[in-house]
Amino acid sequence: MAMKVYSRPQSIVDMPFHYCPGCHHGLIHGLVAEAIDELEIAKKTVGVGPVGCGVFVYDYIDTDMIQASHGRAPAVATGVKRALPESIVFTYQGDGDLAAIGTSEIIHAAARGENITVIFVNNAIFGMTGGQTAPTTLVGQTTTTAPQGRLEEVEGAPIQVCEMLNTLQKPAMISRVSVHNPANIMKAKKRIKSAFQYQLEGRGFTFVEVLSSCPTNWRMSPLDALRFIDKKMSAYYPIQDFRMPEGGR
């Protein structure tokens, strides 16, 4: 007898994604939606989207949504959460959004221990604007604004956001996951769900960085992009839990 093992999460709208083939944004949307479904929080969740390829997250995740300006989602989320403390608030942000223009907002939301969940999609590049250097672009990685590859002497070293936020006192959970193979996807799913669970329990700021691919702007096949995450990205951005709340995990 046929058995259904997987179906579209309820909190994902039934429509085709606009993302490029092999892009992980859609998959990560799915994981967020599954977490929302399993915790049964869809009716009280407000999502805040970024500027970047994920800007249309509001079309796909079936909760109330806000489209914030570039990098400011953590401040917008702060406003929502302060206005409605009973709601579940998450931001969904790329690395250009969060680690370049939005560094101030993310650091201060984390430092306040704002009771929100941040899903940070790190694809080491500016996707939407056509593949320019991000603060997370690896040394040597070529981009349209680093045609010879990122030079540490010129552009400095890539920012490891989890490590940076981990110097702060207040965050409850900081974790880096990846979605480049099924085992990692399973773990990513668990961490994203935990992050929402901890918010529900009022434990404070929860942060999940997801290593993600951009085959289009990396100029790679989707398969090579997975290998790039496995070999190169996860070497500089170790997949690990940096901090879990007491009694967490």
Partner 1 sequence: MAEKVLMKGNEAIAEAAIRAGCQCFFGYPITPQNELIEYMARELPKAGGTFLQCESEIGAINMVFGASSAGVRAMTSSSSPGISLKQEGISYIAGAQLPAVIVNIVRCGPGLGGILPSQSDYFQSTRSGGHGDYRLLVLAPNSVQELADLTVLAFEKADEYRNPVMILGDGILGQMMEPVVLPEVTSSKVDKPWATTGKGDRSQCNLVSSLFLNPEELEQHNLLLQSKYKKMKEQDTRWESYLTEDAEIIIVAYGSAARLSMAAVNMARQQGLKVGLIRPITLFPFPEQPIREAAEKGTPFLAVELSTGQMVEDVRLSVEGRSPVYFYGRCGGVVPDPKEILEQLILRLRSQEGLKKGTKGGAA
* Chain contacts with partner 1 (rule: CB under 8 A): 42-46, 48, 55, 58, 62-69, 72, 75-84, 87-88, 104-105, 107-108
Cβ-based nearer residue to partner 1, 60 or 218: 60
Nearest to partner 1 of 63, 206 (CB atom): 63
Question: Which residue, 187, 182, 208, 185, is CA-closest to 196?
Answer: 208
Helix segments in the chain, DSSP class H:
25-39, 57-60, 73-83, 95-96, 103-112, 152-155, 161-165, 182-200, 215-218, 222-228, 234-236
Contact between residue 63 and residue 45 where contact means Cβ atoms under 8 Å apart: yes
Residues 6+ apart with CB under 8 A from 219: 131
Question: Of the candidates 2, 185, 192, which has an alpha carbon nearest to the alpha carbon of residue 91?
Answer: 192
126 binds ligand TPP (CB under 6 A): yes
When the beta carbons of 36 and 225 are compared against partner 1, the nearer one is: 36
Q: Which residue number, 84 or 151, has a Cβ lying nearer to partner 1?
A: 84
Greatest extent of the chain over all pairs of C-alpha atoms, in Å: 62
Helix then strand then coil, % of the chain, to nearest 5: 40, 15, 40
- Contact in structure between 12 and 60 (CB atoms under 8 Å): yes
Asked if 117 touches ligand SF4 (CB under 6 A), the answer is: no
* Contact yes or no for 234/178 (Cβ under 8 A): yes
List the one residue from 45, 115, 137, 216 that touches ligand SF4 (CB under 6 A). 216
Please pick, from the candidates 34, 62, 97, 114, the single residue that binds ligand TPP as defined by CB under 6 A: 97
Helices 103-112 and 73-83, packing angle to 10 deg: 30
Told to check if 30 binds ligand TPP by CB under 6 A, we report: no
Candidate residues 53, 159, 185, 233; the one interacting with ligand TPP per rule CB under 6 A: 53
Among 9, 11, 12, 25, binds ligand SF4 (CB under 6 A): 25
Q: Does 27 bind ligand SF4 (CB under 6 A)?
A: no
Stretch that binds ligand TPP, among 37-45, 88-96, 146-154, 182-190 (CB under 6 A): 88-96
Question: Which of 9, 199, 215, 239 is in the footprint of ligand SF4 by CB under 6 A?
Answer: 215
Considering only residues 42-101, where is the footprint of ligand SF4 by CB under 6 A?
Answer: 53
Placement of tokens 């995740």 in the chain: 61
R_g (Cα) of the chain, nearest Å = 17
Near ligand TPP by CB under 6 A: residue from 30, 49, 74, 127:
127
Residues near ligand TPP, by CB under 6 A? 50-54, 70, 94-97, 123, 125-129, 134, 214
Residues near ligand SF4, by CB under 6 A? 19-20, 23, 25, 53, 123, 127-128, 214-217
